Amino acid sequence: ISLVCGRRCGSILNMPSLSIVSNVSRSVVPPDFIEEATKVFQKAIGKPLEYVCVSLVPDALLAFGGELDARAALCRVDSIGKLGVEENKEISRAVFQLLKDKLQIESTRAYIIFNDRQPSEVGFKGTTFDELRKKK
């Protein structure tokens, strides 16, 4: 598992994360994949890089369309805000292009699930963002 979080991985308005689970072998994941994915995701979601978290779980037992051998991915985007009809289209475009360019996963072999979170649904610093917001 690879994980990159910015210096302050969280803020009341800025906590986006991109999680990718794939059956692609870790041995073929480019060494700069997480760094590149972080930049691509940050640009697409429009939040400061210092708050962006990206993870990749390679070598997953993952079937897509009943096929185990063809490369595939299941992605999840979580964010407090900055998600919606138009925003999700931009993030999809960017993430699917990243998957194709870096992991050779076609857009027909992956899903992206979007989760627009409430501040009370995300924990940070031993509490939730809802509580942190009240303290400001």
Q: What pLDDT shows up at residue 111?
A: 98
Nearest alpha carbon to residue 99 among 121, 134, 79, 71? 71
Q: What is the pLDDT of residues 81-128, one digit of tens each?
A: 999 999 999 999 999 999 999 999 999 999 999 999 999 998 878 998
Scan for tokens 């992206």, then name that residue. Answer: 112
Report field, pTM of the whole predicted structure over 0.85: yes
Catalytic residue among 16, 30, 48, 119: 16
Please report, for residues 25, 76, 77, 98, 107, the alpha-carbon distance to residue 92 in angstroms, rounded to integers and kept in the order given. Answer: 23, 11, 10, 10, 9
Express each pLDDT in 7-44 by its tens digit. Answer: 333 333 458 999 999 999 999 999 999 999 999 999 99
Active-site annotation holds for 16: yes
Instruction: Give exposure, 32-67, as e/b (b: 16+ Cβ within 10 Å).
Output: ebbeebbbbbbebbebeeebbbbbbbbeeebebeee
Task: Give the residue-averaged pLDDT of 44-73.
Answer: 94
CA 132 to chain centre: 23
Q: Say what the pLDDT of residue 13 is.
A: 46
